[in-house]
Amino acid sequence: MIGDKKVLFSGMQATGSLTLGNYLGALKNWISLSDEYECFYSVVDLHSITIRQDPATLRKRARDLLTLYIAAGLDPEKNCIYYQSHVSGHTELAWILNCFTYMGELNRMTQFKDKAAKHSDNINAGLYTYPVLMAADILLYQADVVPVGNDQLQHLEITRDIAQRFNSIYGDVFTVPEPYVGKVGARIMSLQDPSKKMSKSDDNPNASIYLMDDADTVMRKFKRAVTDSEGCVAYRRQQPGIYNLIDIYCACTGKTPEETVREFDGKGYGEFKLAVGESVVDVLRPLQEKFAELSKDRAYIDGIIKKNGEKASYYALKTLRKVQKKVGFPEKIR
């Protein structure tokens, strides 16, 4: 709790390019939360290096992501938007929490197994202890709530377990976070395999719409989107490709699935795909224009990085000092 507001923490990795799924499923919904919560939105660049990164590319993507947060509508005066790597408390707390996390818990983490299978040539300790750093990210700011999808619920559960274990030994040090229950963002699936979520790491470039895709690219990808042989625009799970396209159209236009089905009754898939593509272009255009404008104002973005990094560090240090005292570290002489 900061003042009268509960604390909310979330973040995105500074790898790859954000997709339409990231925007409609998460980022778009973050914008209204600052009225209700004290929000910390991190560019989680420490997590990014569990996979080898080109340094210059990582720096650019981190800055682009922070700029995109603002371009999407997050007010940096109301929300703390910062680089994870600029707040040393994340790694300091992660080490302490490593000592309160059991090997058996980490062995059960399904994301480690998935990532290890994809990156068999680089199965490093950071990949294995990734959930502990994620726990530190959340607990460092005494977050009350964390927006999570189903694929992240396991990480929140281990965070809760670690917090409760620490609290049972040392008293009420950490707030035990709850999953954020509010407006659910649209679940956007791959355009080429609608059984999978749209992903920024998909090997097929036609599977995902990226936030910086130009209008021609967006339209081309929707023309190639997987549908089926039934030929009718219906909102049925048995037609996963069309079901996904209807979800995208509704998320971009504000229409309901029922209204969409009526609108395209008797019309072919080709016409429907064009309409979906145009609705996405209309959503992305103002975001892209704002991003381009902000990217030119280096001093403004630098100022946000400095100010919000200092704000995040202030709150992080409050928690870290309490934890260090509890575990018995000697106090610093100031």
User: Known catalytic residue: 78?
Assistant: no
Closest CA to 242 of 273, 214, 217: 273
The catalytically annotated residue of 28, 197, 221, 273 is 197
The catalytically annotated residue of 6, 78, 200, 255 is 200
Q: How far is CA 121 from the centre of its chain?
A: 26
CA 334 to CA 326: how far, in whole Å?
Answer: 19
DSSP β-bridge partners for residue 5:
2
Which residue type does 293 have? Answer: E
For residue 39, give every residue at least 6 positions away whose Cβ sits within 8 Å of its Cβ, in sequence order, or none: 7, 8, 9, 10, 30, 33, 78, 79, 80
Contact between residue 5 and residue 41 where contact means Cβ atoms under 8 Å apart: no
Secondary structure of residue 136 in the 3-state scheme: helix
Q: Element (H or E) spanning 90, and its range?
A: helix 89-98
The catalytically annotated residue of 28, 115, 221, 273 is 115
Secondary structure of residue 66 in the 3-state scheme: helix
CA 200 to CA 119: how far, in whole Å?
Answer: 16
User: Known catalytic residue: 197?
Assistant: yes
Contact between residue 147 and residue 180 where contact means Cβ atoms under 8 Å apart: yes
Contact between residue 156 and residue 177 where contact means Cβ atoms under 8 Å apart: yes
Q: What is the DSSP string of 207-270?
A: S--BTT--HHHHHHHHHT----SS-S----TTSHHHHHHHHHHHHHH---HHHHHHHTTT--HH
Tokens of 177: 């976070």
For the annotated catalytic residues, the residue numbers are: 115, 197, 200
